Amino acid sequence: MKKWKKPLILIVLCVCIFGLLGCNRTRIIDQISIVHVFGFDQAEDGELIGTALVPNYTTSKSGDDIQFYEEKTSTSVLFAPKMASQTSTPVELGKIRVLLFGKSYAEAGIGEMVRRFILNPQIGTNIQIAVSTESAKKTLNALKQEKSLTLAERIQQNMQGQYLPRMNLHVFLNRFYGEGVDAYVPMLTIGEQERVSVDGIGIFEDDHLKLQLNPEQTTVFSFIEDEQTQATYKMDLEGKERREILAVRAFKSKSNWDWNSKKERLHLGLQLHVTLTQIPDRYSVENEKDVMEMKRIVEKRLEKEMADLFALLKENGVDPLGIGNIVRSKDKSWKETSFYEKYPALPISVNVDVQFLHSGLEG
Amino acid sequence: MLRRKRVKQQQPTRGYETTEKTIKEVFEKAKKSSDFSTITPIEKDHPLQISFYKTLIDPNIFQKSVLPFLKEKASEVKELSDLKDVVPIDDIKVKQDPLEVEKALHEGAIVLYFKDSMKEFALLSISHPRLGQRETNDTQNEFSVIGPKVGFIEDITTNLHLIRDHLSTSDLIYEEVTIGTRARTKVVIAYLDGVTNPGYVNTAKQRLKELDIDVSFDNTQLEQLISDHSSTPFPLFITTERVDRTVGALIQGQVVLISDKSSYAVIGPAALMDFFSNPEDFYLPSVIASFFKLIRIFGMLFSIFATPFYVAILTFHYEVIPRDLLGPIINSRANVPFPPVIEVLFLEITIDLLREAGARLPTKIGQTLGIVGGIVIGQATVEAALTSNVLLIIVALSALSSFTTPIYKMSTAVRLLRYPYILFAASWGGLGIYVGLLFLIGHLARLKSLGVPFMLSIYPYRKGGLANSFVRPNYAKSQKRPWYLRPLSVKRYSPAADKDPEEGLNTE
């Protein structure tokens, strides 16, 4: 019997391998429909509208043959199965790059969608989540007209080199479920020539969209929130003859929050390293006095803009900067409800320290 | 159950040849061969006769140094021992045993005897072992750009000469063993006395002595016969035709087997990572040599895993493909009617067919085959939509990288390994590759070479050996032999300290 032991084990092993192989489900790459962008909207009768862009790579290498699928269901689980009824190959969600919410749906609350659809192991978390000012369906249709699959890159590029603060689904979920902080997402809009463009950020309170910041406000927001922001900040100065423009581009920023627990005051010390990209003609960078004056102008203007931003956030009762968290880190007895009751009246003072790195080398 | 009922056959005793022979039988059997001749050198009725195999002796020596002296002084020869005064050849033995006479005949000796007595035989060894052998070998199978290019040939005396010439020390010991009941091949166990652990020498000697085989054609066959695990695809000894590699192994304290009629030396105990090292590593600066060694190890891994990962990813894990690659991969696969595993197996087997056909053909036809294989078949399969463009590149790259392994036997093992991985990947995807890897590591960890673990210094872990498995250390730092090979003396040399003057000509 001993001589038969080894072949016997091998036969059993082969049976196991082929038995399990028979129960296996393959997802061969050219026989699946890979969803690229997924959009959510609310129908008027309360049902959900799911829209998806599926590039057809089998006919074009660059993927400019894009299929648009739309499906109306009562629950998000049915999106993929119902869409599959229109396609020849199974719909796979694993390669979604951008999740897009229509504004009206986002304002009504996305909590259920996050729990039921987005918290799905198939969907990665290093992807973008965004809200569009139009309906998601309309935005996706515009993207289809553009024949481009670069929405994710468009958002990422604006986060790395422009004024958007950094955000992805992973960070979004952390903020969405976290205490003492509110989530924000990039806003998309359909601009001129029917092109989809980035337009500030939208701030959530709990699970519904509460406030939208315009690009200028977002720039100031990025200075505080994002240490590596490269946002360009432009200010108009009242000149003697004509309007003069002073523009700076951020290189790095460091915000120091200081909580005075006795007086219950918050102080923000912001160190900002910028490059001068455009200066009015009457100033000269060779003149130290002029440089000091420009520095003072930028600091003053930023301090005012930030005070306005804090006022706006407090007024709307949203906390995308995570001020609750900052206070919690200094105060053991912090309670979410009691803090946010007092939040609209919380005094926040700002001190901005601007350093010019260089000038005239860029734009 | 059936096997038990079978009557146990009587095991034959050692040796299949007739052991008892009379001298008459020896000569009668030899006379059946046409190349055996018996001559009477002087006159017809003189009793002195000479018998020999014409094909084994050196006719020059026979004509110039044996026959003239015999003809001149034959009358003085009364007894065979007198021959020593007549014939100017030092290797003259007088024997009586018929078996020894037979053996000497086969080793190229001439036998002198008086036909009337037939009791004593004088054996004069005038063999011509290099007859029909090539003069030199320039290591074509293990080529290196720099370094010596002398390799072994199929003659043991030449090979032993090459080694001793290279390593002139009396510590170098050759021990001879005869194997093969019919062919009686000479095998020499070479080692450095006082360095090599006697355990290895004894193991090798014991295995060779107890080996029962009729003919051993080559050292590469002998290596399999004495290997620790006969059913593994991996070679457990290094087979090399390079003299410098052999000498290097002796210096490290390894045992070397050289056998007659074989141009390969067998080195043991060998470790897995030794197979990716090349003598050229030692002639290049250590940084560059380490880089190339890492390239070879990467090539081995790439060669095994490239196509299995292609199968696994395209069949199961489309998520891991970068977005920009999705388009080209899907587009090139769009017209292929097969699942990835069939596509890959088709192309891999094509490549192996080409390789096997190229190896069997003469060089000049082989070139044509390369063109046919590389251009025509490659381009045509893609155009006929049997495989995708991307796969063609991956398969070509992995075939290329499998040839970076310096030892041919390991290179073939690496080529074979990918097939089970492709099947594993096709059935379980990435998990299948992982499962296969576990099997491979389990198998490798079980292997031994002359009783020494094959994965030594990686598993079981040995301090100081791990880094040297992947890089070639600086000479100043490799002054000791690896202690885990248990050499009798660890130190090889001690580099002198830097004695350059602090200030002087070379401080500017």
Instruction: Tell me whether A3 touches chain B (CB under 8 Å).
Output: yes
C-alpha span between B508 and B505 (Å, rounded) = 7
Is residue B411 within 8 Å of B405, Cβ to Cβ?
yes
In this structure, are B256 and B293 located in the same domain? no
User: Residue B331 domain-assigned?
Assistant: yes
Closest by Cβ to A61, choosing from B318, B327, B336:
B327
Phi, psi of B172 (to 5 degrees): -75, 115
Residue that finishes a domain, picked among B453, B477, B499: B453
In this structure, are B300 and B421 located in the same domain? yes
Closest by Cβ to B318, choosing from A20, A32, A61:
A32
Strand partners, A255: A270
Which residues fall within 8 angstroms of residue A87, CB to CB, at 6 or more apart? A33, A54, A67, A69
C-alpha closest to that of B304 among B415, B404, B405: B415
* Chain A residues within an 8 Å CB radius of B427: 17-18, 20-21, 24
* Residue that wins the pLDDT comparison between A363 and B428: B428
* Chain A residues within an 8 Å CB radius of B438: none
Is residue B276 within 8 Å of B293, Cβ to Cβ?
yes
* Chain B residues within an 8 Å CB radius of A29: 313-315, 318, 321, 326, 329-330, 333, 340
C-alpha span between A171 and B145 (Å, rounded) = 56
Look at residue A131 and give its three-state secondary structure: strand
C-alpha closest to that of A231 among A223, A239, A243: A223
C-alpha span between B160 and B246 (Å, rounded) = 11
| Length of chain B measured in residues | 508
State residue A361's pLDDT score: 57
Is residue B189 within 8 Å of B201, Cβ to Cβ?
yes
In this structure, are B288 and B435 located in the same domain? yes
pLDDT, one tens digit per residue, over A238-277 is 766 677 888 888 888 888 888 888 888 888 888 888 888 8
Instruction: Determine the residue of chain A that is closest to B317 in CA distance.
Output: A27
Instruction: Determine the residue of chain A that is closest to B331 in CA distance.
Output: A58
E strands, A15-165, in order = 33-34, 37-42, 48-55, 66-73, 91-92, 98-102, 128-132
Q: Do A63 and B327 touch (CB under 8 A)?
A: yes
Q: Note the ipTM here.
A: 0.83
Question: Is residue A33 pLDDT above 70, yes or no?
Answer: yes
Residue that finishes a domain, picked among B221, B242, B270: B270
pTM, two decimals, is 0.85
Torsion over CA of B137, B142, B148 and B151, rounded to 10 degrees?
-30
Number of domains in chain B: 3
Which residues fall within 8 angstroms of residue A352, CB to CB, at 6 or more apart? A270, A272, A298, A299, A302, A303, A306
Mean pLDDT over A226-236 rounds to 85
pLDDT, one tens digit per residue, over A81-109 is 888 888 888 888 888 999 999 888 888 88
C-alpha closest to that of B332 among B380, B396, B390, B397: B390
For chain A, list the domains and their CATH numbers: 30-213 (no CATH), 216-359 (3.30.300.210)
In this structure, are B266 and B289 located in the same domain? no
In this structure, are B356 and B420 located in the same domain? yes
C-alpha span between A187 and A165 (Å, rounded) = 12
| DSSP 8-state symbol, B459 | T
User: Residue B160 domain-assigned?
Assistant: yes
User: Residue B167 domain-assigned?
Assistant: yes
User: Residue B400 domain-assigned?
Assistant: yes
C-alpha span between A175 and A204 (Å, rounded) = 10
Give me A269's structure tokens: 């010390």
- CA distances to A226, B246, B472 from A250, in Å: 11, 65, 49
Angle formed at CA A297 by CA A292 and CA A300, multiple of 5 degrees = 120
User: Residue B495 domain-assigned?
Assistant: no
State residue A7's pLDDT score: 81
- What's the domain range around B316? 284-453
C-alpha span between B67 and A328 (Å, rounded) = 113
**Burial classification of residue A230, based on how many CB atoms lie within 10 Å of its CB (0-12 exposed, 13-18 middle, 19 or more buried):** middle
* Terminal Cα-to-Cα distance of chain A (whole angstroms): 85
Is residue B120 within 8 Å of B80, Cβ to Cβ?
yes
Structure confidence at residue A1 as a pLDDT band (50, 70, 90) = low
pLDDT, one tens digit per residue, over A246-255 is 888 888 888 8
Give me A68's structure tokens: 């648009």
How many beta carbons lie within 10 A of that of residue B346, not counting itself?
17
Instruction: Tell me whether A60 touches chain B (CB under 8 Å).
Output: yes
User: Residue B64 domain-assigned?
Assistant: yes
Instruction: Determine the residue of chain A that is closest to B340 in CA distance.
Output: A28
Which residues fall within 8 angstroms of residue B365, CB to CB, at 6 or more apart? none
Mean pLDDT, 10 residues at a time, over chain B (508 residues)? 50 55 83 87 77 88 85 76 80 84 86 82 83 80 88 90 92 92 89 94 94 90 91 93 93 93 92 91 93 94 95 91 88 88 91 86 79 78 85 91 91 92 89 92 93 90 86 88 90 86 70
Is residue B448 within 8 Å of B229, Cβ to Cβ?
yes
- CA distances to B162, B476, B493, B495, B502 from B498, in Å: 35, 11, 15, 9, 10
Is residue A155 within 8 Å of A198, Cβ to Cβ?
yes
In this structure, are B258 and B324 located in the same domain? no
In this structure, are B336 and B244 located in the same domain? no
User: Residue B294 domain-assigned?
Assistant: yes
C-alpha span between B218 and B342 (Å, rounded) = 38
In this structure, are B258 and B364 located in the same domain? no
| Length of chain A measured in residues | 363
Angle formed at CA B403 by CA B401 and CA B406, multiple of 5 degrees = 120
Strand partners, B109: B125
Instruction: Determine the residue of chain B that is closest to A22 in CA distance.
Output: B427
Is residue A40 within 8 Å of A136, Cβ to Cβ?
yes
pLDDT, one tens digit per residue, over A136-177 is 888 888 888 888 888 888 899 988 888 889 898 999 999 999
In this structure, are B298 and B255 located in the same domain? no
In this structure, are B70 and B35 located in the same domain? yes
* Chain A residues within an 8 Å CB radius of B3: 3
Size of interface A-B (CB pairs under 8 A): 65
Instruction: Determine the residue of chain B that is closest to A3 in CA distance.
Output: B3
State residue A363's pLDDT score: 44
In this structure, are B320 and B446 located in the same domain? yes
C-alpha span between B466 and B470 (Å, rounded) = 7
The position carrying tokens 């993207």 is A143
Instruction: Tell me whether A54 touches chain B (CB under 8 Å).
Output: no
Cis-peptide into B482, omega within 30 deg: no
Classify each residue of B272-282 as buried b or exposed e, where b means 16 or more C-beta atoms within 10 Å of its C-beta. bbbbbbbbbbb
In this structure, are B426 and B382 located in the same domain? yes
Mean pLDDT over A5-29 rounds to 77
C-alpha span between A107 and A121 (Å, rounded) = 26
State residue A334's pLDDT score: 85
Gap from A150 CA to chain B (nearest CA, Å): 10
Look at residue A36 and give its three-state secondary structure: coil
Chain A interface, mutation test: which of B3, B230, B314, B330, most A Cβ atoms within 10 Å?
B330
State residue B311's pLDDT score: 93
E strands, B131-203, in order = 172-179, 185-192
Gap from A291 CA to chain B (nearest CA, Å): 46
Instruction: Tell me whether A16 touches chain B (CB under 8 Å).
Output: no
User: Residue B200 domain-assigned?
Assistant: yes
C-alpha span between A228 and A111 (Å, rounded) = 30
Question: Is residue A56 pLDDT above 60, yes or no?
Answer: yes
Residue that finishes a domain, picked among B125, B141, B169: B125
